[in-house]
Chain A
Amino acid sequence: MNVRAFRLLIWNTVQKEVRSKSFFMAVGLTLGMLGLGYAVMQAFREQIQLEGGVEVVGSGQLIWVYYALVNAWSIFLGLMFGLGCVRSDVTSQVIGQLLALPISRGSYLAARVIGSWILVSFYQVLSFALMGILFSESLKEISMTALLVAPLISFFPTLAAAVLGLFVSLWVGKTSGMILTGVASLGGSWARSHFSSVEDPMANLTLLKVVGLILWIAIPRFAAPHSFVQVLAGVPEATIAWADIAQFGLSGIALFAITSFIFRRRGF
């Protein structure tokens, strides 16, 4: 497949979402959600100040809470668009016509994932712009390197989320997929905290433990790349989580490879 056709297919992914109501719904939800998040955080902070009379939570700390909120929301959007990017072609029966063209299934999947990623990146840019407005004073306390790197780092977890969404969409629809990935992510973080505290994770294997182990290995650790930002920003005791970053990268690549392998063998 030529580069022009590949670009068109990526643009087509963006167009599909922009034309559907979900794009504008997500813009509204992003602004609403982050605005509400900010209001809740400010109210919480003021409440503490009223009760204690001292500023125990500074705006410098709140910005990290907000940063985590933006990233969590972006991952949610990544999953959502990843779940729908191929599924919508299947339900509208356009997929048969697209795959009958000289487009390889791998290129088709890659174009859909990149298109979804571009879309989520748009929401992220929007969210970071909002963050810049809301925390303009606190931003001065953070190093310029951290400020520049933080948004760039945030693009990687959303890419992994889009891939995870695409993987899940091979079997289930959007709503079930959101529930399933939510449960799987919770299971993955439970497994992470459990297995990191036990000496021999493979001892006394039960079915639940095996599922936990699989989730621990398979679900990309979305928060891992942010350890870079924390170190750059000089957060006390922050270290770069190399092992988790490696798991994040490898599991993301493996998920796309498995998705592509299954998709290439699927009939339509």
Chain B
Amino acid sequence: MTIVQAQNLSHSYGKFQALDGVNLEIAQGQCFALLGPNGAGKTTFVKIMLGLQFPMSGSLSLFSKLAGTPSARSHIGYLPEKFSFYPYYKVKDTLAFHAAVAGLSKQESEVAVSEALGRLKIAELAQKKLSGLSKGQLQRVGLASLLLGDKQLLILDEPFSGLDPIGIKDLKDLLRELKSLGKTLFINSHILSEVEPLCDHFGILNKGKLLVAGEKNSLLKGKSLEDYFSEIVQ
């Protein structure tokens, strides 16, 4: 089943062409990494997926629904590079808010929040305000929010940024676990070394154009992702 389908997707900011005729398909259960140098158009692609930007031409659908509609977003979890919510909210309340929006009842929410806190090893932070958390702790709260409700597509924007080595390991373990549960992962990153062992598919975006996209092993043919990336982008 195709989860993400972009057809001739283009977007520009004034004269700057952020996306130029991108065609991409991501199937259910894939772990897909969108790679590219800064300014390649990765964030714009993610924003269109989330309905935060609208394409100027072409289309993007999620679960066969037009991206940007609330129904298309109902099965999406999104973790931005820097998770930020109202600083005066406690961790537990932040997650309860996300659980409510995900459609969980009050009772379901309490169970799901407590489970998510446990899985991210942040149960002791439950009563702490977001303003008192480090960047790594905030990212864990953001990750915990992804576990609430029935999210089938998880979009992670630079997820390794700001995490310490233990945090990175925990995140990788969690993502592997989510993948084994059949979740589709979409990772937007420029840290190739972290993404390579995790993802089974990737695409390289440069100057708005999708240069390549496909299954990792068939594209790399024994090369490292770093070497392949430099070869393609240069």
Using a CB-CB cutoff of 8 Å, which residues 182-224 of chain A contact chain B? none
Partner of B101, one of A5, A16, A94, A96: A5
By a CB distance below 8 angstroms, the chain A residues around B51 are: 99-100
Contact B74 A102 (CB under 8 A): yes
Render B41-72 as a binary contact track against A, CB cut-off 8 A, 1 for contact: 00000010011111000000000000000110
Contact B70 A104 (CB under 8 A): yes
Least CB separation from A16: chain B residue: B86
Residue A179, interface by CB 8 Å: no
Render A237-268 as a binary contact track against B, CB cut-off 8 A, 1 for contact: 00000000000000000000000000001011
Give the CA-CA distance A15 to B97 in the complex, in Å.
Answer: 13
Partner of B83, one of A15, A97, A99, A101: A97
Using a CB-CB cutoff of 8 Å, which residues 1-44 of chain A contact chain B? 1-2, 4-5, 8, 12, 15-16, 19
Give the CA-CA distance A8 to B86 in the complex, in Å.
Answer: 13
Residue B80, interface by CB 8 Å: yes
Contact of A101 with B98 at beta-carbon distance under 8 Å, contacts A2-B103, A96-B80 already known:
yes
Give the CA-CA distance A96 to B79 in the complex, in Å.
Answer: 11
Least CB separation from A99: chain B residue: B52
Least CB separation from B72: chain A residue: A102
Query: Could you tell me the distance in whole angstroms from the C-beta of B147 to the nearest C-beta in chain A?
Result: 14
Contact A267 B54 (CB under 8 A): yes
Least CB separation from B52: chain A residue: A268
Size category of the B interface is 20 to 34
Main secondary structure of the interface of A (DSSP, over half): loop
Most chain A CB within 10 A, of B52, B85, B101, B106, is at B101
Residue B88, interface by CB 8 Å: yes
Contact B52 A94 (CB under 8 A): no
Most chain B CB within 10 A, of A8, A93, A103, is at A8
Contact B76 A100 (CB under 8 A): yes
Using a CB-CB cutoff of 8 Å, which residues 89-132 of chain A contact chain B? 92-94, 96-97, 99-104
Residue B84, interface by CB 8 Å: yes
Show the binding face of B for A, using Cβ within 8 Å. Answer: 47, 50-54, 70-71, 73-74, 76, 78, 80, 83-86, 88, 97-98, 100-103, 105-106
Given contacts A16-B86, A97-B83, 7 further A-B contacts (CB under 8 A): A1-B70, A2-B103, A5-B103, A94-B84, A97-B84, A102-B101, A268-B53
Q: List 23 A-B contacts (CB under 8 A).
A: A1-B101, A2-B100, A4-B100, A4-B106, A5-B103, A8-B100, A92-B84, A94-B85, A96-B47, A97-B80, A97-B83, A99-B51, A100-B52, A100-B78, A101-B98, A101-B101, A102-B71, A102-B73, A102-B102, A104-B70, A267-B53, A267-B54, A268-B47
